[in-house]
Structure 1
Amino acid sequence: MPEWNGVCAPTLDDMTEMALAARAALPAAFAPAAASVALIVEDFAEPALLAEMQIEDPFELTGVYEGIPLPEKSVMDMPTAPDTIRLFRRPILDEWADRGDIALEALVAHVYVHELAHHFGWSDDEIAAIDEWWT
């Protein structure tokens, strides 16, 4: 994956492409289920979501999974919305700038895989098998 070397900060679309590249790099066994999770990249989480999660500083939330994890799903569940991963561009960029030791694409992939882990119900060991940076 090439490193971000743009003159300007990446747009929402740029960051979406980074997350989609991370999804495309997943092992084939996970690809269909991962593709079924909607992906939305926004600058920040909505105030209502931050309040629900009891987060005061919007820069503290880089991503969130919204949905029912696969191990908890039942054929009796009536979905009210699609399972969704939301990534928050500004907090990710802030963390990237603060760290200074990782490519932006790798950080976006890490946040994406972490949120996808909530969908799959993965343990930290399972996350580390896909996202080597996790360890």
Structure 2
Amino acid sequence: MSRFHHPPTLEDIVEMAEQAFAAIPKELRDLVRGAAIVVEDVADEDTVAEMGFESPWALTGLYRGVPMTQKSVLDAPMEPDTITLYREPILLEWIETNEDLFRLVRNVLIHEIAHHFGFSDDDIARLEGDD
């Protein structure tokens, strides 16, 4: 991914997230078939409080929804699962760590999906290392 000469926009992060989603391990993609990827600048106050954070800068992503393993065809239709990426905290981490931005976005996706489905920290580290 090329270097940006300006802060990446919401649209830039959406495009990167779509490419990153295609690059995550198949075992994770299969778990979240049909989930929407949404990019917002920062988490709102209610979300920050709900997740137990003191600041929106600590939250780079959030998975909301019911795992496919717990869904039933008999369930009433619900809103689609969403994976929200928070642009500004991701960009702050990018600046602080000098990590490749594409890899960082990919790892946030992996982290959110894997934690939602109960993967261990060791499993997540293994998945983040898969390129």
Common topology (TM > 0.5):
yes
Gaps of 5+ in 1: none
1:72-94 per-position Cα deviation (integer Å, ceiling 9, x unaligned): 43445435321110000000111
Rounded Cα–Cα distance in structure 1 between residues aligned with 2:61 and 2:101: 15
Residue 43 of structure 1 pairs with residue 41 of structure 2:
yes
Aligned 8 A contact 1:66 1:83 in 2? yes
Q: What is the total number of aligned residue pairs between the two structures?
A: 130
Task: Output the aligned Cα RMSD.
Answer: 2.2
Q: Which amino acid aligns with 1:122?
A: F
Residue 123 of structure 1 pairs with residue 120 of structure 2:
yes
Q: Which amino acid aligns with 1:48?
A: D
Q: Give, in angstroms, the shift of residue 68 of structure 1.
A: 1.6
Work out the percentage of aligned pairs sharing the same amino acid: 45
**Change in 2 beyond 3 A, CA 1:34/1:73:** closer
Q: Equivalent residues in 2 for 1:4-43 (5 A)?
A: 4-43=2-41
Q: Equivalent residues in 2 for 1:12-91 (5 A)?
A: 12-91=10-89
Aligned 8 A contact 1:40 1:84 in 2? yes
Q: TM-score, normalised by structure 1?
A: 0.81
Which of 91, 94, 114 is 2:92 aligned to?
A: 94
Gaps of 5+ in 2: none
